[in-house]
Amino acid sequence: MTAIKTIGIIGNSTKANAADCAVELAQWLEARDICVLFEQEIADVTGNPGVERHELAGRSDLIVVFGGDGTLIGAARYAAEKEVPIVGINLGAFGFMTVVSLSEMYETMERIISGDYTVSKRMMLDACIAGEDYTALNDVVISRGSQSRMIYMETYVNKQYLTTYKADGLIIATPTGSTAYSLSTGGPIVFPEMNSIIITPICPHTLTNRPIMISQDATIDVLLLSVEKKASVTVDGQVLKILHTGETVSVRKSRRSVNLVNSPFHDYLEILRTKLGWGG
C-alpha cells in the first residue's frame, strides 16, 4: 500500500452534519501529521480553503467522502482517473458503497493510515451518447422520460442483433450498479468485483424480455426507434442527456476502475443482508 500523507475530504453540503464531521476528522488527521485538503463545496461551508474536485484527486493519496452513495459516485469519476482509493462515511440511511458508519470512522481511519486496509476494485462503464463520452460507476439508463408511450430500442451486442426492446426503458449496469436501479426492475444481484455487464429492461411490453448478463468485453449499441422522437439518458443518475430518434447509445467497459476501501468490520454479504433486510 502507498503511504498515506495527504487525504482529500469531499462532503455533501446538504447533509446537516457533513461539515462538522469533516472538520472534526480533519483535526484528528492533522494531529497525526496527515495533510488534509477540502473539496471546494464542503470548504465553502466549513470556511476552510478548498480545491476543485479534479485537483483534489490528483493531490490526494486517499479520498474520504461524507454522504451517501450518490456523493461517492460523483467523486468516483475523478478518483478513478488517478486511481486514488475512496472510503465512504455514511451520513444517510442507506448505502452499499458508503459502508463506514460515523461510530466506526476513527478506528477505520486509524487502520487505513497504518496501512491495514483492503480495497475492492470496481469496474466502470464508458458510454458514448450521440457522440458525447461519459463514464459511469453504476449504470447508464435510457428511459421514456416524460413521454407517454413506450420506446423502441434496437439493441446489439458486439454488432450482433440482440432484440428490439419495447419498454419504458433499458438499464445497462455494472456489478456495483446491480443493487441500484437494476435491482428494483428485477435485475440480478452480482458480486461487485465480478466483471460483467447487466442489461435490464424497464417494464417491458413482452414479459419474456428478461435481464441478461454479458461479457465484460462486450460492446452494447442501443439505437432509439421511437415515435415520440426522443428519450432521456442518465449516467449514474447525475448526468442527463436527451436522445433523439435515430441516435445511438454505445456502452462498453471503461479502462478506468474505482478502488473502494472495504469496511474492516463488515463483509459484503453482511452489508447485503443488512441493507436489503434479509432474514428479519
Residue 236 and residue 137 in contact, taking contact as beta carbons nearer than 8 Å: yes
Q: Burial letters for 83-120: b for 16+ Cβ neighbours within 10 Å, e otherwise?
A: ebbbbbbbbeeebbbbbbeeebbeebbeebbeeebeeb
Is-catalytic flag, 69?
A: yes
Give, in order, the Cα–Cα distances in Å from 133 to each of 116, 128, 239: 37, 4, 11
- Active-site choice (20, 33, 61, 69): 69
Which grid coordinates belong to 122? 470496481
Q: Measured between alpha carbons, how far is 271 from 104 in angstroms, rounded to an integer?
A: 14
What values do phi and psi take at 150, rounded to 5?
A: -60, 160
Q: Burial letters for 151-172: b for 16+ Cβ neighbours within 10 Å, e otherwise?
A: bbbebbbeeeebbebbbbbbbb
Catalytic sites, residue numbers: 69
